[in-house]
Amino acid sequence: MIETFFGLGTLNSPQGYFAALIIGFCFGFILERAGFGSSRRLAGIFYLRDMAVLKVMFTALVTAMLGLSTSLSLGWIRPEQLYFMPTVYGAHLIGGLLFGIGFVLSGWCPGTGAVGLASGRLDALIFLLGAVAGSVFFNELFAAVKPLYNWGQAGVSFAYEVLGISRMAFGFLLTALAVGCFWGSEYVEATRNRGGTYFRSPFLKAFSLGLLIFSAGLLLLPSSQQFPAGSGLPETGRPSYPKHSDQQLLQAIEGAADHIEPIELADRILRREPQLLVVDVRTPGEFAQFHIRGSINATLSELVEVLQPYRNAGTIVLYSNGMTHPAQARDALYRMGYQNVYILTDGLKGFIETCLKPVSLRSEPVPQEFAARIAAWRNYFVTRATTAPAPERMVESVKVPGQLPGLVDTAWLQSNLGETGLKIIDVRSQPEYNTAHIPGSLFLATDSLRGVIDGIPSRILPEKMLAWHMEQMGITPSDLVVLIAGDAIRDATLAGVALERLGHSNYAVLDGGFGKWLVEKRPVDNALPINLSKSHYPPPTGQRPDSFTVTAPQVLKLMQQPGTVILDVRPKDYFTGEKSDEARAGHIPGAVNRPYTEDVLTTDGYTRLRPLTELATEYAALIPSKDTTIVVHCRTGHQASQTFFLLRHLLGYRNVSYYDAGWTEWAARLELPVSNGS
Amino acid sequence: MKPTNSNDKGYWNPYLAGVALGLTLLASFLMLGAGLGASGGIARVGAFVEGLFSRDHLLHSEYFGQWGKDPLSYYLVFMFLGTFLGALVSAVLSSRLQFKLERGSAASPALRSVLALLGGVIVGFASRLARGCTSGQALTGGAMLLSGSLLFLVCTFIGGYAAAYFVRSQWND
């Protein structure tokens, strides 16, 4: 049995590309030989002048159809190995009509346009540029076109099923129609244009007869191949997303395809995996009765809004009692570009059955080791969920800032406003803060956390001075501090570094900052917190100044250790030395340039870090392992604080040092080596 | 076989070319697991070009955004490249490579250019709407006997014949 690139999921691999290139080569060669490098000849079909397009295309269609039907019914290939496009009646109807108009206007279609270009036709070049522009227009207008794009979805639909006849009978009728069209074409050419080379020719008679006999012969073959179950569901529209056979499903789970098994989910929740969002799509009533601990509740209609911040960041798992609704939601989300949505195999019922059912109630014997795991799951998911009061569960269910330091989202912050032990620190400019801020938040100028240390400007202040600042703001070591930046995330991460110097790891940065808060129309006010009481904040007694800040001599030493990665996060032209506002231009020899601006994204009116999955991939290309020794620096430590925070707290690099004196010091100390250029 | 007429400038017999094309499509089914496609490659180029102007915008657009930050890493891009190369080899071997704007001798180059561009824009847009073009839907989906693809094929002819009359002057001699 044949395994295809699609079936193996390797269509978009170097081998798949090469195979596609070869197939394309044959495609182009034959089209050119058929005379399709000429727009005039192509357009001829619409003026009944030259019917070559119809003859070639219909012959090709019938040939491939007969070949494919034969292959399927003889079991040479299974349907799962093939990508069947979904039918969307409205989109195909309107798309077809428009396409026909564009075809006759230009005289080209996409495939023949490539052939025309290769034949030197200027009009093919113009056509192709237009087609690129048309694709871009479609993308830009997608919001408006989308209802039409999805109008009349019928999933994978076969014409013979719709007509209620067998595949082979339909194939025979189509072949007969093709033969009729061939004779009609030859007749038209013969009578109107004195052409019709093949009209009544022995060749056409033999060819017609051959096709009809072949397709009639197929009627004798069994036509009851099994088509993928659930072919009525809307497809995802991407060839690289195969439907699963049982065996593939197992492989797919291992490769994290679209299902997640109850046991895997239970273990991942138990491990408190930070980037895991479990969503219960049942009604709030059902959710209140019982839900998987750590999940949040969002009905299908709310889903898009709730999941927006998690698009392609981390793992989203949807569950309901069964699997139908989550599967539909997953398909819909996939079409919206979510590639990180998974559904829980067998839903909540399966989860309870597999993980939470007491050993005593199980019909089959349970190995001791598995019984221990069941006990651990029950302890976590059953005991707590049924005894904890509902409101606490709701708080806990919003993405808990369990991994700190880390990010928290706006919804979580809003639902926790006013909680004791939560201190919100706004690090935007003072005028911005005075105009509007999150209720109860305090202003902090990040410049007040830095000063001249050892003659070097803009270094983070010693812990005693930082502790004094905390006392003025009424912060205690046990408080959860949430930092609010505007567009400059580095302001928040700089304050974060200062907190870490105090050993205060109980802090988080608001994802999307004040901008997102505002865009989401969450509450703001402009009152100042008068009568703020001071607190007691004893400076830490550990390592001075902290365990992660490094000095120039330490950097020099680390540089000489094999494997150290020095990340210079300044803009590229400062790295290369084209620009400089320090004593010397250039960078630390061997340093890698990764501008901090590449990690952020401004969209919908606010700035945030880019999806962590993307950043993880990009950094993995720069840094060999999570244990690699990394030094991040910029000019003064401000920009580098953002990369430091990202690598150490969000991407899980364990060995990140922060050179806060940065290029200011390095450039001025003439004994230190400098490189120029890229 | 009769001698070729004036229409057939050394072209292959259309039926035999059709058989060859059908076998190529069949090979595509059996090797790739997917059929032929051309507009997909063009749209990927569109996404790539858009990304050159604004990567953020590309990644956040709902349609192109789903193709990720490297839209050209897709098999249909390579198939399109192959189509071009195959046609180039054939055109050179048969001495049909000729730099010209193809049009009726009595039609102005401007008219022909404008129609080619406008047609291109419509075809680019319609291919996205219909999730494929003559290659990916009509031919490939047609051979798979898919309802939507056959509907697309029929509608392409309806649209083409309906509009043909209005743009016939570009082929006037």
Q: What is the pLDDT of residues A90-109, one digit of tens each?
A: 999 999 999 999 999 999 99
Residue B1 covered by a domain: no
Whether B110 and B170 map to the same domain: the answer is yes
Q: Tell me which chain B residues have a C-beta less than 8 angstroms from the C-beta of A83.
A: 33-35
Residue B112 covered by a domain: yes
Q: How confident is the model at residue A667 (pLDDT cuts 50, 70, 90)?
A: very high
CB of A493 less than 8 A from some CB of B:
no
Q: Are B2 and A105 a contacting pair at CB < 8 A?
A: no
Flag the least confident range among A238-242, A339-343, A349-353.
A238-242
Q: Tell me which chain A residues have a C-beta less than 8 angstroms from the C-beta of B168.
A: 47
- Whether the predicted pLDDT of A272 surpasses 80: no
CB contacts < 8 Å between A and B, how many? Answer: 586
Residue B52 covered by a domain: yes
Q: What is the mean pLDDT of residues B83-96?
A: 95
User: Do A96 and B155 form a contact (C-beta atoms < 8 A)?
Assistant: yes
Whether B106 and B94 map to the same domain: the answer is no
Distance CA(A138)–CA(B82), nearest Å, equals: 25
Q: Are B124 and A134 a contacting pair at CB < 8 A?
A: yes
B88, closest residue in chain A (CA to CA): A118
Q: Are A130 and B118 a contacting pair at CB < 8 A?
A: yes
Residue B7 covered by a domain: no
Whether B71 and B44 map to the same domain: the answer is yes
Q: What is the mean pLDDT of residues B39-58?
A: 92
- The per-residue pLDDT for range A416-447, each reduced to its tens digit, is 887 778 899 999 999 999 999 998 899 999 98
Flag the least confident range among A33-37, A149-153, A384-388, A640-644.
A384-388
Q: What is the mean pLDDT of chain A?
A: 85
Whether B83 and B21 map to the same domain: the answer is yes
Residue B109 covered by a domain: yes
Distance CA(A555)–CA(A632), nearest Å, equals: 10
What's the structural domain count of chain B? Answer: 2
A72, closest residue in chain B (CA to CA): B30
Domain's final residue, options B47, B70, B98? B98
Whether B106 and B42 map to the same domain: the answer is no
CB of A203 less than 8 A from some CB of B:
yes
Q: What is the mean pLDDT of residues B57-69?
A: 85
Q: Tell me which chain B residues have a C-beta less than 8 angstroms from the C-beta of A164.
A: none
Q: Which of B29, B124, B155 sits opposite A93 (nearest CB)?
A: B155
Domain's final residue, options B50, B74, B98? B98
Whether B112 and B46 map to the same domain: the answer is no
CB of A290 less than 8 A from some CB of B:
no
Whether B106 and B70 map to the same domain: the answer is no
A158, closest residue in chain B (CA to CA): B146
Residue B8 covered by a domain: no
Tokens 């001599």 identify what position? A553
∠ Cα B67 A113 A211 (to 5°): 100
Q: Tell me which chain A residues have a C-beta less than 8 angstroms from the C-beta of B164.
A: 43, 46-47, 104
Q: What CATH architecture is A406-519?
A: 3-Layer(aba) Sandwich (3.40)
In CATH, what class is A552-668?
Answer: alpha beta
Residue A153 is predicted with a pLDDT of 82
Q: Tell me which chain B residues have a C-beta less than 8 angstroms from the C-beta of A39.
A: 102, 116
User: Do A487 and A429 form a contact (C-beta atoms < 8 A)?
Assistant: no
Helix residue spans in A34-121 (DSSP H): 39-43, 52-73, 89-106, 110-118
List residues bridging with A481 in a β-sheet: A423, A507
Residue B34 covered by a domain: yes
CATH number of A246-397: 3.40.250.10
Sign of the dihedral defined by the CA atoms of residues A161, A166, A172, A177, in that order:
negative
Q: Which of A332, A340, A351 is nearest to A280 (CA)?
A: A351
User: Do A174 and A65 form a contact (C-beta atoms < 8 A)?
Assistant: yes
Q: Where are the domains of chain A?
A: 5-218, 246-397, 406-519, 552-668
Whether A246-397 shares its CATH topology with A406-519 is answered: yes
The boundaries of the domain holding residue B86 are 13-98
- The per-residue pLDDT for range A23-77, each reduced to its tens digit, is 999 999 999 999 999 999 999 999 988 899 999 999 999 999 999 999 988 888 8
Q: Tell me which chain A residues have a C-beta less than 8 angstroms from the C-beta of B116.
A: 39, 105-108, 123-124, 126-127, 130
Q: Are A63 and B38 a contacting pair at CB < 8 A?
A: no
User: Do A400 and A272 form a contact (C-beta atoms < 8 A)?
Assistant: no
Residue B106 covered by a domain: yes
Q: How confident is the model at residue A223 (pLDDT cuts 50, 70, 90)?
A: low
Give the burial string for A220-234 (b: 16+ CB within 10 Å, else e).
eeebebebbeebebb
> How far are the Cα atoms of A459, A481, A539 from residue A542, in angstroms, in the given order?
19, 21, 9
Distance CA(A429)–CA(A443), nearest Å, equals: 8
Greatest mean pLDDT among A159-173, B7-21, B52-66 lies in A159-173
Whether B85 and B36 map to the same domain: the answer is yes
Domain's final residue, options B98, B115, B139? B98
Q: What is the mean pLDDT of residues A538-565?
A: 86
Q: Closest approach of chain A CAs to the CA of B172, in angstroms?
A: 11
Q: Tell me which chain B residues have a C-beta less than 8 angstroms from the C-beta of A339.
A: 66
DSSP A587: B
Whether B24 and B75 map to the same domain: the answer is yes
Q: Are B147 and A158 a contacting pair at CB < 8 A?
A: yes
Whether B90 and B110 map to the same domain: the answer is no
| Higher-scoring residue by pLDDT: A381, A175 | A175
Residue A399 is predicted with a pLDDT of 39
Residue A242 is predicted with a pLDDT of 36
Q: How confident is the model at residue A243 (pLDDT cuts 50, 70, 90)?
A: very low
Whether B105 and B90 map to the same domain: the answer is no
Calculate what percentage of chain A has a pLDDT beyond 90.
42
Q: How confident is the model at residue A184 (pLDDT cuts 50, 70, 90)?
A: very high
- The per-residue pLDDT for range A115-173, each reduced to its tens digit, is 999 999 999 999 999 999 999 999 999 999 999 998 888 878 899 989 988 889 999 99
Whether B127 and B50 map to the same domain: the answer is no
Q: What is the mean pLDDT of residues B133-162?
A: 96
Beta-strand relationship, A442-443 and A315-319? unpaired
